[in-house]
A = this chain, B = another copy of it.
Amino acid sequence: MEPRSLLRLLFLLLAALVLLLIHSTRSYLHDLPNSSSTLRPVLNSRPRPTITTTVSSQSSHESDVPHHPLDPLTIQEINTARSIILSYHPFSSSPSSLIIHSLVLQEPDKPVVLSWHPGLPLPPRHASTIIRFLNSSYSLTIDFSTKNITSNPLPSSGYPTMTIEDMNSACWAPLSDSNFNATILGRGVRLSDLACLPISSGWFGPQDEHRRLIKVQCYSAEGTANFYMRPIEGLTVLLDLDTKQVVHISDVSPDIPIPKSSGTEYRFDSLSLKDNHKTKPLNPISLEQPAGPSFEIENGHVVRWAGWEFHLKPDPRAGVVVSAVRVTDPETGEKRRVMYKGFTSELFVPYMDPTDAWYFKTYMDAGEYGFGLQAMPLVPLNDCPRNAKYMDGVFAAADGRPYVRQNMVCLFESYGGDIGWRHSESPITGMGIREARPKVTLVARMAASVANYDYIVDWEFQTDGLIRVKAGLSGILMVKGTPYVNMNQVPKNEEMYGTLLSENVVGVIHDHYITFHLDMDVDGSENSFVKVKLEREETDQKESPRVSYLKATRHVAKSEKEAQVKLNLYQPSELHVVNPSKLTRVGNPVGYKLVPAGTAATLMDPQDPPQLRAAFTNNQLWVTPYNKSEEWAGGVFVYQSKGEDTLAVWSDRDRSIENKDIVLWYTLGFHHVPCQEDFPIMPTVYSSFDLKPVNFFEYNPILKSPPNLEKDLPICNAAASA
């Protein structure tokens, strides 16, 4: 045997050993699907252990039966689907080669769901699955009643969302490469301290198309749980994601030191608090509802609160899906339709550094990683207040076995002291009127941790008919190693691509775009999109001492291109979805308006490959005619996609959208120039947009809401320990 072969063998053995060692220190093994669980998503208020998945103690026979056409697949349905798939030719020939990338409910057609109501039998259940088998992709539909499988056409480019197993195995694969290990050791990092991340490699030309690729970059976890702050800068491993073979190793900056571990820790139990000069801790403050919450959840998914009714479910790709949203008209008692389906369709997170180890970091967190797959259990009392209730997710693993993601969603009533409405009579009239109403809302929350970054998504329902969709950004920055420890060392014209956050640590500038699918159904499916333009009107000054005023004119968008909205402060419009065939008592079309915020617009070149793939961020708002197959703004197969199947492509067909079933697509945008306050972990930055009734109700729907009275409020005592 040649020495080289022998050396390689030794490295392989070492690598295997290390892999075992690391694995044994990670909890992922505990996260493997457990097919003996019989839980489907249920809500309960008891804090759960915050491990990722487990057999739930909430088992119950009832919970295995879907009750609503939109209920997610149950554990039993996932098991059934799996056995149908395994017995399907060609998979049956080599079941061990089968990888299930997605296995979810295929929702019934919209008219079927809309015509269903409690008491009627459920429409036939179907599952939709995306599979890799012997390096080919399959998109299949499974009919539970007939056990039949039908095959669906595949997108012209791209690959399915990675499985957790893809991501995990990619992290360890480089250890099978001796050159990689040598490089790591050469950087002074023990292989046992190595922590690696799977980074979607994007698409930058034909060379990347013929196979699934991923890039792996690594960090030193020595001395800290926050390894993200200790990059082995410049080292990038290109892997074949199917074979897990190393394709190429790039090491462009071997001389950049690995930043220190001190000051990077954030776990409370591991922090030294002695040198913390912050004043005494705050007295406890808590949202208390001793009489219990005001909302109810029917059969695990149908939520009712303050006249609202909607279906809420976890989803492995979208995170949470809010469906069949209706609100009660206070005047008639009628439950009126507002939105058929709303969810996070895609995220786009381009980093602003074009160099070798960074240019490809242009994440699409939903389509590449699975926004729901990355949503960990929420931490009771801290991620959600004490009065929250929790919902579990039930997902399928790569082998098709179901597993439970506990406490993935929480639901709670919120009151922070805001005012619903108020009026006092001033001394001018002196009528002495003092009327005010507290503002209480209902929040449905999930939080996804896509490696370093944490995204909080809130669907907040207000009693006045407003829906606020709120995104919070926290977690840990993706940072770059640098030789500098102080700005005074940086040559005048050197491009940093970010901010020096700590010695040898640069926080690289990046953007976040979160694109929401909003299938509005305002009092029915046939709606129109109306731009209410606000423009200066000059007066005839013989008529008025005023030179100008602001005039509103309504423009109904006939087709998609008329509804591609780039917001402009100096040419403002209100963005209405109206039902042209339903008028209020005094003749206004009933509607909802989208009130933008978080409006950062992409500044990248539209022809830049990442921007082509994320062309759905080219406008803040788009409106498309409803099409069941158009749910994912970046396309079904986002991974390594070329941008042939994005919202921008669909919209450019310029289909008619007037008085049709229409879907709004709104993108929340953030430019993030990191600052030292973001180190070692970021205070949450929130932004949100609103869906607000506009002439939907005949009058203020909370006009008759009662004020708070002392006699109704709880009687509380300090906790024993306080």
B603 touches A536 (CB 8 A): yes
Say yes or no: is A500 at the interface (Cβ < 8 Å to chain B). yes
The B-contacting residues of A in range 410-453, CB under 8 angstroms, are: 412-440, 443, 445, 447, 449-451
CB-CB contacts of A87-114 with B at 8 A, as 1s and 0s? 0000000000000000000000000000
**Inter-chain contact A487/B586, CB cutoff 8 Å:** yes
Known interface pairs A686-B418, A708-B382. Does A354 touch B287 (Cβ–Cβ under 8 Å)? no
Inter-chain contact B435/A276, CB cutoff 8 Å: no
| Contact between A712 and B355, CB atoms less than 8 A apart | no
- Residues of B near A382 (CB, < 8 A) are 419, 422, 436-438, 707-708
Q: Chain B contacts of A329 at CB under 8 A?
A: 277
Q: Could you tell me the distance between the alpha carbons of A27 and B424 in the complex, rounded to whole angstroms? A: 13
* Closest beta carbon of chain B to A123's beta carbon, Å: 28
**Which of B331, B698, B714 touches A275 (beta carbons < 8 Å)?**
B331
Contacting pair A676 B701 (CB below 8 A): no
A298 contacts partner chain B, Cβ-Cβ < 8 Å = no
Contact A449/B472 with A546-B354, A547-B608 known, Cβ cut-off 8 Å: no
| Bound Cα distance A306, B27 (Å) | 36
Residue contact B387 to A432, C-beta cutoff 8 Å: no
Identify A545's interface contact among B205, B422, B443, B697, CB under 8 A. B205
Q: Would A422 and B474 be within 8 Å (CB), given that A288-B716, A415-B287, A700-B678 are in contact? A: yes
Q: Scoring A residues 606 to 638 as 1 if CB is less than 8 Å from chain B, else 0, what string do you get?
A: 011111000000000000000000000000000
Of all chain B residues, which has the CB nearest A293?
B283
B683 and A420 within 8 A (CB)? yes
Q: Bound complex: CA of A501 vs CA of B279, how far in Å?
A: 52
A360 within 8 A of partner (CB): yes
Pairwise interchain contact A719-B712, C-beta atoms closer than 8 A: yes
Residue among A501, A532, A583, A716 having the largest count of chain B Cβ atoms under 10 Å: A716
Tell me if A234 is interfacial: C-beta within 8 Å of chain B.
Answer: no
Contact of A419 with B472 in the complex, beta carbons under 8 Å: yes
Task: Enumerate chain B residues within 8 angstroms of A157, measured Cβ to Cβ.
Answer: none
Measured in the bound complex, the distance between the Cα atoms of B285 and A412 in whole Å is: 11
Residues of B within 8 A of A451 (CB): 426, 428-429
Residues of B within 8 A of A679 (CB): 699-700
How far in angstroms is the closest Cβ of chain B from A621? 13
Tell me the bound Cα distance from A584 to B413 in angstroms: 41
Q: A283-B293, A600-B572 are in contact. Are A267 and B450 (CB under 8 A)?
A: no
* Chain B residues whose C-beta falls within 8 Å of the C-beta of A280 in the assembled complex: 294
Which residues, 695 to 709 on A, are CB-close (under 8 Å) to B? 695-709
Known contacts A26-B431, A359-B545, A428-B167; is-contact A276 B376 (Cβ 8 Å): no
Query: What per-residue 1/0 map shows which CB atoms of A397-415 lie under 8 Å from chain B?
Result: 0000000000000001111
Does any Cβ of B come within 8 Å of A333's Cβ?
yes
1/0 per residue, CB under 8 A from B, across A158-178: the answer is 000000100110010000000
A447 adjacent to B433 (CB under 8 Å) = no
Is residue A12 contacting chain B, with contact meaning CB distance below 8 A? no
Q: Give the complex CA separation of A714 and B283 in angstroms.
A: 10
Contacts known (A278-B705, A509-B552, A608-B548); A373 close to B416, Cβ less than 8 A: no
A271 within 8 Å of B by Cβ? yes
Task: Known contacts A293-B283, A534-B603, A702-B683; decide if A586 and B697 are in contact (CB<8 Å).
Answer: no
Residue of B nearest to A407 (CB): B434
A276 touches B677 (CB 8 A): no
Cβ contacts under 8 Å, A485 to chain B: 586
The answer to whether A283 touches B273, judged by C-beta atoms less than 8 angstroms apart, is no
Contact A450 B435 (CB under 8 A): no
Q: Are B712 and A715 in contact (CB under 8 A)?
A: no
A62 at the interface (CB under 8 A from B): no
**Contact across chains for A681 and B417 when beta carbons are under 8 A apart:** no
- Interface-facing stretch out of A67-75, A141-149, A562-570: A562-570
Contact A423 B290 (CB under 8 A): no
A279, closest chain B residue (CB): B307
Interface residue from B443, B538, B587, B683 paired with A605 (Cβ < 8 Å): B538
> Which of B388, B430, B535 contacts A417, CB < 8 Å?
B388
Which of A288, A331, A413, A696 has the most chain B CB atoms inside 10 A of its CB?
A: A288
Contacting pair B546 A608 (CB below 8 A): yes
Q: How many angstroms from the CA of A600 to the CA of B572 in the assembled complex?
A: 8
- Residues of chain B within 8 A of A718, CB atoms compared: 290-291, 714-715
CB distance from A642 to the nearest CB of B (A): 14
B673 with A433: CB separation less than 8 A: no
User: Known contacts being A273-B704, A702-B683, is A31 close to B430, with CB within 8 Å?
Assistant: yes
How near does chain B come to A99, taking the closest CB pair, in angstroms?
16
The reply to whether A417 and B385 form a contact with Cβ atoms under 8 Å apart is yes
Using Cβ atoms and an 8 Å threshold, which residues of chain B touch A328? 277-279
On whether the beta carbons of B586 and A420 are closer than 8 Å, the reply is no
B678 and A434 contacting across the interface, CB-CB below 8 Å = no
Once A197-B428, A511-B550, A569-B567 are accepted as A-B contacts, the answer to whether A717 and B286 lie under 8 Å apart by CB is no
- Cβ B681 vs Cβ A421 within 8 A: yes
Minimum Cβ distance to chain B for residue A684 (Å): 5
Contact of A487 with B277 in the complex, beta carbons under 8 Å:
no
Query: Contacts A440-B282, A449-B426 given: A287-B289 contact, CB under 8 Å?
Result: no
A609 contacts B427, C-beta separation under 8 Å = no
- A423-B711 in contact (CB<8A): no
Could you list 16 examples of A-B contacts with CB < 8 Å?
A: A277-B328, A278-B705, A288-B716, A354-B546, A354-B549, A356-B544, A419-B447, A419-B684, A486-B585, A509-B551, A546-B608, A546-B609, A572-B600, A675-B693, A680-B700, A714-B722
- Given A268-B707, A282-B440, A676-B698, 14 more A-B residue pairs with CB atoms under 8 Å apart are A27-B430, A28-B427, A263-B699, A278-B306, A286-B716, A290-B722, A356-B544, A377-B434, A381-B707, A386-B710, A420-B683, A466-B683, A487-B586, A552-B673
